[in-house]
């Protein structure tokens, strides 16, 4: 078995998200190439420090990027090679960490960008703003995750956690239309001998017929069919995030918003608007799926009045 294939298998066994697997594999390959294509088993802490210092000093990466590379290599040595790295990495030069408050929009700015979006990507972005979803969470919703009667969305395995969040009442009709579109496309795929969706491995073994059921299909299916490796049948993965990210950038320019807006900005804005509306911090923590309330507390620092209710003398 090729080494990188073994790395991917271990990541799948540990149930890492697909995006995390791709990122970690990229860092492992970069680490191997940096040291002249030596096998990681022949290297250790000294080589890891040299690589991380190269990222910080020569490539001048952000602290978060260096930490991501470190996490990938820690995972590699601990879980794949069975030779954990030392807790203290002597000689490591950490990248400079800059604490920046997240960019947020006003309610009107958010609506202006949404109105400037192409119609085919408008609903996922509305869910990011209206429900506090990450772009990947919005696009990977399955039909069964949308509870129209109760008015809530179920988000599975987001950062290896499950949670409920609010479903905007104003989007009920749009969601019903989207579910119907997904149903029509699914039935056409089935008629053509396709219509198989990928499921988590344990669930696929427990419910062998579920991959052909409508409820497990993605709410925002991809435009192209792909082969389901588990079943050998063609089906549709969820829509890719790149077109949505590009559409948000273009819509921001068309709306005349002079801020660095990304898909994640709508999640930040959701949290800020919840605070402005009087929602308590613990509830916002649960809606966003934060492990620690400290992560959620950052939004208290970007309200108009600040975390202590401070008002500028000029505004009195």
Reported as a single tens digit per residue, the pLDDT across 56-71 is: 889 988 888 999 999 9
Active site annotation includes 96: no
Q: Is 140 helix (H, G, I), strand (E, B) or coil?
A: coil
CB 140 within 8 A of CB 200: no
Confirm whether 298 is domain-assigned.
no
Confirm whether 65 is domain-assigned.
yes
Of 126, 134, 211, 268, catalytic:
134
The tens digit of pLDDT for each residue in 152-179 reads 999 987 666 789 999 999 999 999 999 9
pTM for the structure as a whole: 0.78
Q: Are 64 and 145 within one domain?
A: no
Number of domains in the chain: 2
Confirm whether 183 is domain-assigned.
yes
Q: Are 75 and 146 within one domain?
A: no
CB 258 within 8 A of CB 113: no
The tens digit of pLDDT for each residue in 109-147 reads 999 999 999 999 999 999 999 999 999 999 999 999 999
CB 219 within 8 A of CB 186: no
Q: Are 147 and 222 within one domain?
A: yes
Of 126, 211, 212, 267, catalytic:
267
Confirm whether 76 is domain-assigned.
yes
The residue among 55, 80, 105 that closes a domain is: 80
Of 39, 159, 181, 215, catalytic:
159
Beta-carbon contacts of residue 220 (< 8 Å; ≥ 6 apart) = 123, 124, 138, 139, 141, 178, 182, 238, 239
Active site annotation includes 134: yes
Active site annotation includes 24: no
The tens digit of pLDDT for each residue in 213-231 reads 999 999 999 999 988 777 7
Confidence of residue 307 (pLDDT cuts 50, 70, 90): very low
Q: What is the CATH number of the domain that holds 36?
A: 1.10.150.130
In 3D, which of 261, 263, 241 has the Cα closest to residue 252?
Answer: 261
Confirm whether 57 is domain-assigned.
yes
The residue among 211, 237, 263 that closes a domain is: 237
Spell out the alpha helix ranges (H) of 14-62.
18-34, 45-53
The residue among 191, 210, 237 that closes a domain is: 237
Average confidence score pLDDT of the chain: 88
Look up the domain containing 51 and give its range.
3-80
Q: Is 234 helix (H, G, I), strand (E, B) or coil?
A: strand
Of 24, 31, 51, 299, catalytic:
299
How many C-beta neighbours within 10 Å does residue 35 have? 15
CA distance 139 to 221: 8
Confirm whether 70 is domain-assigned.
yes
In 3D, which of 155, 152, 131, 127 has the Cα closest to residue 141?
Answer: 155
Highest mean pLDDT among 119-133, 200-214, 289-303: 119-133
DSSP-assigned letters across all residues of 69-128: HHHHHHHIIIIISS-PPPSS-TT--PPPP---PPP---HHHHHHHHHHS-HHHHHHHHHH
Q: Where are any strands of DSSP class E within the chain? A: 146-147, 152-158, 161-166, 226-228, 233-235
Of 8, 112, 144, 264, catalytic:
264
Confirm whether 170 is domain-assigned.
yes
Q: What is the mean pLDDT of residues 291-316?
A: 68
Confirm whether 26 is domain-assigned.
yes
């Amino acid at each position: 078995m090729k080494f990188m294939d073994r790395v991917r298998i271990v990541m799948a066994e540990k149930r890492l998200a697909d995006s995390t697997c791709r990122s970690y594999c990229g860092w492992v390959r970069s680490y191997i190439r940096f040291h002249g294509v030596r096998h990681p088993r022949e290297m250790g802490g000294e080589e890891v420090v040299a690589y991380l210092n190269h990222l910080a000093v020569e490539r001048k990466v952000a602290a978060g990027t260096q930490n991501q590379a470190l996490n990938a290599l820690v995972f590699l040595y601990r879980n794949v090679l069975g030779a954990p790295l030392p807790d203290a990495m002597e000689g490591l030069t950490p990248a400079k960490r800059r604490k920046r408050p997240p960019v947020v929009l006003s309610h009107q700015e958010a609506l202006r960008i949404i109105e400037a979006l192409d119609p085919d990507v408008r609903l996922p972005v509305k869910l990011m703003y209206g429900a506090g979803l990450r772009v990947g969470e919005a696009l990977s919703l399955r039909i069964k995750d949308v509870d129209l009667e109760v008015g809530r969305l179920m988000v599975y395995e987001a950062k290896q956690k499950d949670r409920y969040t609010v479903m905007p009442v104003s989007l009920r009709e749009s969601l019903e239309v989207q579910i119907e579109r997904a149903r029509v496309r699914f039935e056409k795929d089935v008629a053509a001998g396709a219509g198989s969706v990928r499921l988590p491995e344990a669930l696929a073994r427990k419910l062998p017929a579920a991959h052909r059921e409508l409820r497990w299909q993605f709410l925002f299916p991809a435009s192209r069919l792909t082969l389901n490796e588990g079943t050998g049948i063609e089906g549709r993965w969820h829509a890719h995030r790149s077109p949505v990210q590009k559409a948000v950038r273009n819509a921001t320019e068309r709306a005349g918003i002079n801020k660095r807006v990304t898909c994640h900005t709508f999640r930040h804005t959701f949290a800020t608007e919840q605070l402005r509306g009087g929602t308590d911090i613990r509830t916002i923590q649960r809606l966003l799926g934060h492990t620690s309330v400290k992560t959620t507390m950052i939004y208290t620092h970007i309200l108009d009045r600040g975390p202590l209710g401070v008002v500028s003398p000029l505004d009195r």
